[in-house]
């Protein structure tokens, strides 16, 4: 079941929090607002597509520092910055660190809603990719060490006979390992298997 997306708003101005919550609620978005970055950090984040509308200047932890803190905690929630005191170096810094948008007050309601829609879609896609990789890892870990070895050689372009020679086993044995591994990985072809292994390798932290 798909969970309802959540927009988190962090701004220390109560009137801004109220107006942003009203705006986004009016188009059917679920919104939670906080008066500081620390207040949001106390909240257990839901396992659902989400994004953060974040004021740059806050009491306590600033918006840009909070962006760094979330990255350090391996939280990849897309961020939309809002500010009444924006400058180009600040916006460049925020965007380089992965912010979706940097809006200077007063901004058009539609510009914010468009940015939120893009951010939620970005997070939804990230979560789908993460789940796909997690499923692939689970399938790969279900293989025996020999099956893992065989498919790594298959995806490198080796033929069954070459694999058998290198492993010092019969070609028929390689075929059995290969067939079982393909079945466990739910791969319909070698091309599909290659894509699966490439996704697994690209997901490994450097």
Cβ-in-10-Å burial (0-12, 13-18, 19+) of 13 comes to middle
Quote the pLDDT of residue 206.
43
Q: Which residue, among 71, 6, 56, has the nearest Cα to 33 in the 3D structure?
A: 6
Question: What is the predicted pLDDT for the residue at 205?
Answer: 53
pTM score: 0.79
Task: Pick left, alpha or beta for residue 102 (phi over 0 → left; psi -120 to 50 → alpha; otherwise beta).
Answer: beta
* Cα(131)–Cα(115) distance, integer angstroms: 24
pLDDT attached to residue 44: 87
Q: Are 54 and 33 a contacting pair, CB within 8 Å?
A: no
Provide the pLDDT for residue 85: 76
Specify the pLDDT at position 2. 54
Which stretches of the chain drop beneath a pLDDT of 70? 1-2, 86, 204-206
Q: What is the pLDDT of residue 150?
A: 95
């Amino acid at each position: 079941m798909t969970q309802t997306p959540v927009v988190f708003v962090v701004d220390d101005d109560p009137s801004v929090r109220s107006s942003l919550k009203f705006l986004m609620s009016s188009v059917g978005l679920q919104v939670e607002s906080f008066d500081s970055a620390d207040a949001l950090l106390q909240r257990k984040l839901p396992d659902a597509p989400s994004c953060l509308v974040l004021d740059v200047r806050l009491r306590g932890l600033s918006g840009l520092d909070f962006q760094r803190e979330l990255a350090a905690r391996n939280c990849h929630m897309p961020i939309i910055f809002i500010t009444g005191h924006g400058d180009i170096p600040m916006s460049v810094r925020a965007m380089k660190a992965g912010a979706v948008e940097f809006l200077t007050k007063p901004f058009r309601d539609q510009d914010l809603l468009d940015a939120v829609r893009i951010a939620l879609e970005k997070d939804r896609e990230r979560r789908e990719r993460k789940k796909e990789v997690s499923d692939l890892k689970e399938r790969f870990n279900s293989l025996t060490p020999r099956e893992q070895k065989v498919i790594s050689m298959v995806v490198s372009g080796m033929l069954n006979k070459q694999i058998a020679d290198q492993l010092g086993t019969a070609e028929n044995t390689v075929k059995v390992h290969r067939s079982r591994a393909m079945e466990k990985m739910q791969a319909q072809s070698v091309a599909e298997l290659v894509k699966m292994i490439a996704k697994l390798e690209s997901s490994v932290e450097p």
